[in-house]
Amino acid sequence: MKLLINHLAFKHIVCFIIAGSMIFFLPFKTLAGVKSKKITINTEAGAKILVDGKEIAVTTTEIKIEPYTSAHVRIEKPGYITEERNYLNDGKNEIPRAEYIKLEIDDAYANSFTTDLANHDIDIKTNLKEDDAWKLISRIITGTFDVIEVTDKATGYMRTAWVIKTFKSATVRTRMIIKTGNSDPLVYKAKLVSEIGRPGATASQDENFKPWDRVLRTFENVIPDLQSRLGK
């Protein structure tokens, strides 16, 4: 009888050990089932490829993603809209062996140009009398901007309302500010304010905009016109 009890106890102990081993090793078996993956990224010629925030290549690269980790890929190139991808190697999400990430042309970039005229005071010298100069300035400004928000000839100050242009990649707002820089000789300071913000931003949302070193082509002649016509 005692021998039978010992035999049954031994069987229970063995079953307990086997069950415990299965529970213990199951996660490792699951982990072993997910293998590291490699993916080849191709994109536009000259585009920067950043992985997890670090630039690692241009145009093409191969990325290795370890089990149960992820890789964040960001593609950047001037004149194109930035593209991003997340690859998660968890055994559930499929990771392609290769992917071509096509960049779309940035329409805000395509419709603008880089210039030192943006967001800087530009001196406009003139030999005209103050009244004649102010009339000419008003005529030139209203030829490009529809609405003058503030105008005060006595203090020599003018500011247009924001002109908003919405693109797929961004919203651009532009305004002109004129102020008297010197009265004898007569000099005005003209500032073409150019700012860029997120798509869909409205003109009044100042927090969504930042200075932009580019100017929309719509406004490329306004300061040269002031310089040439007032300087005659």
Q: Which pLDDT value is given to residue 32?
A: 56
Residues of the chain with CATH 3.30.530: 110-230
- CATH 2.60.40.3070 maps onto the chain at 37-105
Name the stretches of the chain with pLDDT < 70.
1-32, 232
How much is the pLDDT for 232?
65
What is the reported pTM? Answer: 0.76
- Taking domain 37-105, whether its CATH number is 2.60.40.3070 is answered by yes
| pLDDT value of position 5 | 42
Q: Convert 134-189 into a string of H (helix), E (strand) and C (coil).
A: HHHHHHHHHCCCCCEEEEECCCCEEEECCEEEECCCCEEEEEEEEEEEEECCEEEE
Q: ∠ at Cα 33 (16, 94), nearest 5°?
A: 140
* CA-to-CA dists, residue 152 to 75, 105, 158, 162, angstroms: 48, 42, 6, 18
Residue 45's pLDDT is what? 97
Give the mean pLDDT of the chain: 89
pLDDT at residue 231, rounded to an integer: 85
Q: How far is CA 71 from the centre of its chain?
A: 20
Instruction: Give the model confidence (pLDDT) of 142-172 as tens digits.
Output: 999 999 999 999 999 999 999 999 999 999 9
Strand pairing partners for 176? 192
In CATH, what number does 110-230 get? 3.30.530
